[in-house]
C-alpha cells in the first residue's frame, strides 16, 4: 500500500478531502524538506483585462502571486515588478506594485501613442524570483495595434538569396483590400527609429528590400514606417527563418533505452524558428530494415514503441509537410539501463520498470515521488513486484516527479506525470439579475465559489468583463495552466491550455509533454547528495534600500548623523541612520511612490559638513532576453473595433496626436547638427544637449546616458546593445571611464557614434562604437567623495488608479449624447469572496450591442484555483 510522508500539504489539495496517513520520515525526505525550507519559491500568473490594445490605451493587470508549494496567496515579497517588452526585447515600461490591504498586486501600464504596432510581452517577477532565473518568469503575450496602420496594411513575402533574405512588400487599404502605394516607406533593419532608416523605392507596384546576412538583428525584428494620407504608422515585423531544416529530438521513457525489450519512445519536432512542426517518419536499422513508423499527434510531438536489438544502431528518417526529409540518430541503448515507465488508467497510475532481461535490479533501489519539491512517496523498490499502483486521487494536482535512486543516491531514471485533480479547482457560479440588458443598464452580478462537494469557499479573484465582439477569449493560457503546468517547466510551452482539455487526445498530448520537457526548479541530483542550496544571491525584498559609506577628513566617520530626504514635488518623508565603525550605513524598508528622489546627507557628530559620502550602486534589474517573444501572427482585429477605440480615445483625450510625415522626415534626414564633434555622422544616435540636461533634471551622468537609444547601464557599466563601447571624452579616448567622476551639468552634448564613424581611427577598440561626450569647459574630475550630500532616483511603487466604469444612475447621465465605447466594460482586480462563498459586483452596460464575456481568475484561501470564462452577459439593441 502506498504511503505519504508529507504533513505540509493542505487537505484541500487532495481529491477526497483527507490527507493520507503520515509515516516516519527518512533521509531523502529530510533532504527535500530542508531544501524547500532554505529555498521556498514563488509563482506569478499575469491576468490582463484583455489581450489586444491600441496605442494610447491603458493596460490593466493583476499579478496573482502565490507560494509555489501550496498555491496560496503569497505576501513574503513586498513588491512585484511588471514590465512591458517590445518585439526587439527592449524594455518599454516597468512598474513596481505593492499589495493592497487584502494582499493583492495589481496596476496599470499606459500605452504610449507612439508605440509601433506589434507583438509585445508582459513579464512579471519579484526580486526573490531572480534566484530561479529569468527563464521561469511568467510572460504574457499581448498585441498593440496602431490606428493609422489599419488604414494601410503591408503584406510581406520573403525568399532566400544565398545567405540573404529578400522581402517583397505590397500595400493594401482596408477594408476593401485595394492595392495602394504609400507616400513614403522607411525600413529600420534593427527596429531602432533613432537610427538612420532605409528609404524604400516606391517605383512600381512591388517594393523590395534585401536583408544582408550581417544586417539581420538577433531579434530578427525590423520596423517598417509608412506615410499614407499624410500620417505616419509604424509596425514591427519578424524576419522568418527560411531554412527548411527542422530538428527532431527523441526521448526514451525514463531517460534511457534498454536493450532486448520494448520501450516507449517520445519525440518532439521543432522548426528553424524554434516552434513545433508536424512530421512523420520511420525508424530503420543499419541494414535499412524498417523497425517502426511514427507520426506527430500534437504540436510536433508523438510516440512509438521501439525494440533495441543488442549491437545494432538505429536512425529515423523524418519528413515535414513541405516534403523535406532529414535523418536523425536515435539515442544509443544502454545494456544496464533501468527506466521508469508510467501508465494512467481510469482508476490508477501504474509505475513499472523497463530493463534488459539480463540486467539485475539490485537490492537497494528506491522509488521517490515529489510534487513541487515536497516528497509524497519514498519506498524501497520491491523486486518481487513488477509495478506499483497509485490510486488516481493519490496525488495532488500538478507535476509529479518520479525518481529511481540507487544506494549511492544516484538517479537512475526520471519520469514526469501530470495529476489533474478536479478538486484543485473550485466550482464558480455566476448569477445575473436578468437574462438580457439594454444600453446603459445596471448589471447586478453574484459570484459564488464552492468546492467539489458544494461547500462554500473564501478567496480573492480578479474580474474582467469585455465586449466579445472586440475581444476574443484567451484560448492559450489561464491561471490553471500557469500555476499547475507552465510555471514548473523550463522554456516556452506552446498553447498550454490545449493540454488541459477534458479529452483522451489532450491527456495523451499532456503525457507527451511530460516526457519531452523537464522539471528543474531545484537541483535534485545535488539535493539527493546532501548539497542543499542555502545561499541565495537575491533576498526577499521588504522595502527599498539605500546604502553607502561616509568618511571624515582622515578616517571613517564612526559617530556621524546620516539623513535621507524623500522628495516628490515636495518633501514626503525623512529617514535617519547611524554609520557603523567602518562608516557603513544603510536605509532599508523605504517605501515611496514612483518619481521619488532621495537626498542623502551626512554630518559629523558636531554637525560639521566636512565629511564625504559615497552611495553604493542602486539595484540593477534583469535585462529582457532578445528573441524570447515567440513567433505569432497578427491576430484578427475587427474593423469596427479599431474605429471604436480610436473614437473613444479622441473623446477621452480631446484628440489623438498623429505624427505628420513632413515633421518626422525632416527630423530624421535634415535635422540641424547639435554638436561640433568630428565624430558626428548621419549614423549617430540622437544628440542630447545641455538643454536636454536642464529639462531632464538628471541626477547623474548615468541617468543621462540611459536616454540614448540602445544604451544600457548595469552596475555602472555602460553598454550599447549589451556590448562594451569606447568612451571619447572631449575627443580623447578613456579606458574604463567612471562616469561618476563627471558632473552631468558640465556636459555640453553626448551621443552614440557607430563603429563606422570611430572604427577607422581607433580600430578594434571601437568595434562596438563609442559614446562621445563633449564638456562645456573641458573635463574636470569630480571627486566622488567631495560632498556630504548625494542624490539618487528611486524606483518607487505605482500609486493605485481605479478603473473608470461609468454609472448611469440618473436620467441625465443615461441620456447623455457622449458615446460609451468601452471595450473593457468592467475591470475589478480585487474581488473578495466572503465566508459564504459569495461576492457581489455591479456595473453598467455600454452602447454597443454585443455579448459580454466574463473572465474570473483567482486563488482561494485554501490554495484551490478559481477560473471561469464561459458566462455571457447579453446586451441587446434598443434606443434610450
Domain membership of residue 782 (yes or no) is: yes
Residue 762 pLDDT? 76
Span 279-306, average pLDDT = 96
Look up residue 800 and give its three cell numbers.
Answer: 493605485
Query: Do 758 and 673 lie in a common domain?
Result: yes
Q: What is the model's pLDDT at position 70?
A: 94
- Domain end (from 793, 808, 841): 793
671 lies in a domain? yes
The answer to whether residue 679 is domain-embedded is: yes
pLDDT higher than 90, residue 699 = no
% of the chain with per-residue pLDDT over 90: 56
- Using the predicted structure, report yes or no on whether residue 660 has a pLDDT greater than 70: no
Residues recorded for the chain: 880
Structural domains of the chain, count: 5
Enclosing domain of residue 289: 246-329
Residues 297 and 349 in one domain: no
**Residue 377 pLDDT more than 90?**
yes
Q: What percent of the chain has pLDDT over 70?
A: 90
- 502-532 pLDDT, tens digit per residue, is 899 999 999 999 999 887 788 899 999 999 9
pLDDT tens digit sequence for 184-211: 999 999 888 877 889 998 887 778 999 9
Same domain, 689 and 786: yes
Is 765 inside a domain boundary?
Answer: yes
- Band of residue 790 on the pLDDT scale cut at 50, 70, 90: confident
Strand order in the sheet with 348-355: 338-344, 348-355, 387-391
Residue 149: pLDDT band (50, 70, 90) is confident
* Least confident segment among 69-73, 433-437, 690-694, 761-765: 761-765
Kindly state whether residues 405 and 352 are assigned to the same domain. yes
Residue 878 has pLDDT above 80, yes or no: no
In Å, how far from its chain's centre is CA 114? Answer: 22
User: Among the three residues 741, 758, 793, which one is the final residue of a domain in this structure?
Assistant: 793
> Out of 318-322, 625-629, 763-767, which region has the weakest mean confidence (pLDDT)?
625-629
Q: Cis peptide leading into 175, omega within 30 of 0?
A: yes
Total-model pTM: 0.83
Residue 53 forms part of a structural domain: no
Is the pLDDT at 470 greater than 90? The verdict is no
Helices and strands, number each (H, E), in the chain: 10, 54
**Mean per-residue pLDDT of the chain:** 86
pLDDT beyond 80 at 33: yes
CB 619 within 8 A of CB 96: no
pLDDT at position 632 is 56
Encode pLDDT of 226-271 as tens digits. 988 888 889 999 998 888 899 999 999 999 999 999 999 999 999 9
Mean pLDDT of 358-366: 85
Is residue 670 located within the same domain as residue 766? yes
- 193 and 261 housed in the same domain: no
State the number of CA atoms in the 13 A half-sphere of 129 facing the CB.
Answer: 27
- 166 with 266, same domain: the answer is no
Tell me which of 329, 354, 382 is where a domain ends. 329
Query: What is the rounded CA–CA span in Å between residue 830 and residue 60?
Result: 12
pLDDT at residue 661 is higher than 50: no
Residues 285, 165 share a domain? no
Domain membership of residue 721 (yes or no) is: yes
Residue 262 has what pLDDT? 94
Quick check: 45 and 64 in contact, CB under 8 A? yes
Are residues 687 and 575 both part of a single domain? no
- Residue 171 and residue 208 share a domain: yes
The closest alpha carbon to 445, from 461, 437, 434, belongs to 434
CATH code, 670: 2.170.130.10
Looking at residue 8, its pLDDT comes to: 38
| DSSP state letter for 619 | P
pLDDT of residue 3: 34
Q: Are 187 and 209 in a shared domain?
A: yes
Higher pLDDT, 675 or 873: 873
Residue 803 lies in a domain: no
- CATH value at residue 393: 2.60.40.10
CATH of the domain at 183: 2.60.40
pLDDT score at 783: 46
- 830 is written with which cell numbers? 480585487
**Angle (CA) 404 409 413, round 5°:** 25
Strand ranges, E, within 29-150: 42-48, 52-54, 58-67, 80-85, 91-97, 105-110, 118-125, 139-145
> What are 428's strand-pairing partners?
449
- 686 pLDDT band, cuts 50/70/90, is confident
CATH of the domain at 300: 2.60.40.1930
Q: Are residues 253 and 276 in the same domain?
A: yes
* Residue 643 placed within a domain: no
Amino acid at each position: 500500500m502506498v504511503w505519504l510522508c508529507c504533513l505540509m500539504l493542505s487537505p484541500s489539495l487532495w481529491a477526497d478531502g483527507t490527507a493520507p496517513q503520515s509515516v516516519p520520515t527518512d533521509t531523502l525526505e529530510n533532504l527535500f524538506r530542508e531544501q524547500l525550507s532554505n529555498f521556498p519559491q514563488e509563482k506569478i500568473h499575469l491576468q490582463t483585462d484583455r489581450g489586444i490594445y491600441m496605442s494610447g490605451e491603458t493596460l490593466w493587470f493583476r499579478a496573482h502571486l502565490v507560494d509555489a508549494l501550496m498555491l496560496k496567496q503569497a505576501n513574503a515579497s513586498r513588491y512585484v515588478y511588471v514590465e512591458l517588452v517590445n518585439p526587439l526585447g527592449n524594455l518599454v515600461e516597468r512598474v513596481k506594485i505593492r499589495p493592497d490591504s487584502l494582499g493583492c498586486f495589481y496596476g496599470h501600464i499606459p500605452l504610449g501613442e507612439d508605440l509601433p504596432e506589434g507583438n509585445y510581452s508582459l513579464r512579471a517577477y519579484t526580486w526573490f524570483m531572480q534566484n530561479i532565473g529569468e527563464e521561469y518568469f511568467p510572460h504574457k503575450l499581448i498585441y498593440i495595434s496602431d490606428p493609422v496602420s489599419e488604414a494601410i496594411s503591408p503584406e510581406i513575402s520573403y525568399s532566400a538569396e544565398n545567405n540573404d533574405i529578400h522581402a517583397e512588400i505590397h500595400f493594401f487599404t482596408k477594408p476593401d483590400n485595394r492595392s495602394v502605394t504609400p507616400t513614403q516607406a522607411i525600413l529600420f533593419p534593427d527596429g531602432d527609429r533613432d537610427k538612420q532608416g532605409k528609404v524604400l523605392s516606391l517605383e512600381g507596384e512591388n517594393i523590395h528590400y534585401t536583408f544582408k546576412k550581417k544586417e539581420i538583428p538577433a531579434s530578427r525584428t525590423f520596423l517598417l514606417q509608412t506615410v499614407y494620407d499624410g500620417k505616419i504608422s509604424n509596425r514591427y515585423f519578424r524576419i522568418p527563418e527560411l531554412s527548411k531544416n527542422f530538428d527532431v529530438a527523441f526521448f526514451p521513457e525514463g531517460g534511457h533505452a534498454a536493450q532486448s525489450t520494448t520501450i516507449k519512445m517520445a519525440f518532439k519536432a521543432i522548426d528553424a524558428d524554434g516552434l513545433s512542426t508536424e512530421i512523420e517518419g520511420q525508424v530503420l536499422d543499419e541494414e535499412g530494415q524498417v523497425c517502426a513508423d511514427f507520426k506527430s499527434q500534437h504540436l510536433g510531438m508523438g510516440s512509438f514503441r521501439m525494440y533495441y536489438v543488442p549491437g545494432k544502431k538505429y536512425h529515423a528518417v523524418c519528413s515535414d509537410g513541405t516534403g523535406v526529409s532529414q535523418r536523425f540518430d536515435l539515442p544509443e541503448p544502454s545494456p544496464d539501463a533501468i527506466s521508469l515507465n508510467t501508465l494512467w488508467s481510469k482508476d490508477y497510475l501504474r509505475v513499472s520498470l523497463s530493463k534488459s532481461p539480463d540486467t539485475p535490479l539490485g537490492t537497494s533501489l528506491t522509488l521517490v515521488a515529489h510534487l513541487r519539491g515536497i516528497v509524497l512517496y519514498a519506498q524501497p523498490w520491491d523486486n518481487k513486484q513488477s509495478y506499483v499502483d497509485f490510486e488516481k486521487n493519490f496525488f495532488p494536482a500538478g507535476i509529479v516527479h518520479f525518481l529511481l535512486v540507487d544506494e549511492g543516491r544516484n538517479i537512475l531514471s526520471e519520469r514526469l506525470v501530470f495529476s489533474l485533480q478536479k478538486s484543485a479547482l473550485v466550482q464558480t457560479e455566476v448569477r445575473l439579475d436578468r437574462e438580457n440588458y439594454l444600453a446603459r443598464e445596471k448589471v447586478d452580478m453574484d459570484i459564488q465559489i464552492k468546492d467539489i462537494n458544494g461547500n462554500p469557499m473564501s478567496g480573492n479573484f480578479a474580474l474582467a468583463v469585455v465586449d466579445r465582439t472586440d475581444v476574443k477569449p484567451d484560448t492559450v493560457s489561464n491561471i490553471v495552466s500557469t500555476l499547475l503546468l507552465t510555471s514548473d517547466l523550463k522554456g516556452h510551452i506552446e498553447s498550454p491550455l490545449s493540454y488541459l482539455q477534458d479529452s483522451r487526445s489532450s491527456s495523451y498530448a499532456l503525457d507527451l509533454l511530460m516526457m519531452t520537457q523537464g522539471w528543474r526548479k531545484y537541483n535534485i541530483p545535488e539535493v539527493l547528495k546532501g548539497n542543499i542550496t542555502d545561499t541565495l544571491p537575491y533576498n526577499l525584498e521588504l522595502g527599498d534600500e539605500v546604502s553607502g559609506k561616509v568618511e571624515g577628513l582622515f578616517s571613517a566617520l564612526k559617530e556621524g548623523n546620516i539623513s535621507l530626504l524623500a522628495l516628490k514635488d515636495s518633501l514626503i518623508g525623512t529617514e535617519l541612520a547611524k554609520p557603523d565603525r567602518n562608516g557603513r550605513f544603510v536605509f532599508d524598508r523605504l517605501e515611496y511612490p514612483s518619481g521619488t528622489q532621495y537626498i542623502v546627507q551626512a554630518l559629523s557628530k558636531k554637525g560639521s559638513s566636512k565629511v564625504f559620502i559615497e552611495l553604493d550602486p542602486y539595484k540593477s534589474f534583469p535585462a529582457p532576453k532578445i528573441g524570447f517573444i515567440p513567433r505569432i501572427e497578427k491576430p484578427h482585429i475587427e474593423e469596427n473595433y479599431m474605429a471604436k477605440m480610436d473614437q473613444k480615445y479622441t473623446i477621452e483625450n480631446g484628440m489623438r496626436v498623429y505624427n505628420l510625415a513632413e515633421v518626422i522626415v525632416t527630423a530624421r534626414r535634415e535635422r540641424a547638427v547639435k554638436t561640433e564633434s568630428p565624430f558626428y555622422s548621419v549614423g549617430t544616435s540622437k544628440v542630447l544637449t545641455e538643454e536636454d540636461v536642464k529639462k531632464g533634471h538628471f541626477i547623474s551622468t548615468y541617468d543621462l546616458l540611459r536616454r540614448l537609444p540602445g544604451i544600457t547601464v548595469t552596475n555602472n557599466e555602460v553598454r550599447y546593445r549589451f556590448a562594451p563601447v569606447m568612451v571619447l571624452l572631449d575627443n580623447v579616448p578613456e579606458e574604463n571611464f567612471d562616469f561618476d567622476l563627471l558632473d552631468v551639468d558640465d556636459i555640453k552634448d553626448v551621443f552614440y557614434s557607430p563603429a563606422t564613424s570611430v572604427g577607422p581611427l581607433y580600430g578594434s577598440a571601437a568595434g562596438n562604437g563609442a559614446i562621445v561626450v563633449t564638456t562645456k569647459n573641458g573635463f574636470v574630475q569630480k571627486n566622488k567623495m567631495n560632498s556630504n550630500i548625494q542624490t539618487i532616483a528611486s524606483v518607487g511603487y505605482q500609486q493605485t488608479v481605479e478603473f473608470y466604469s461609468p454609472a448611469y444612475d440618473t436620467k441625465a447621465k443615461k441620456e447623455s449624447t457622449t458615446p460609451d465605447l468601452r471595450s473593457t466594460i468592467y475591470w475589478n482586480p480585487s474581488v473578495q469572496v466572503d465566508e459564504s462563498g459569495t461576492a457581489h459586483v455591479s456595473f453598467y452596460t455600454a452602447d454597443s450591442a454585443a455579448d459580454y464575456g466574463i473572465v474570473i481568475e483567482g486563488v482561494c484561501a485554501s490554495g484551490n484555483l478559481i477560473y471561469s470564462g464561459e458566462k455571457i452577459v447579453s446586451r441587446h439593441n434598443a434606443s434610450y
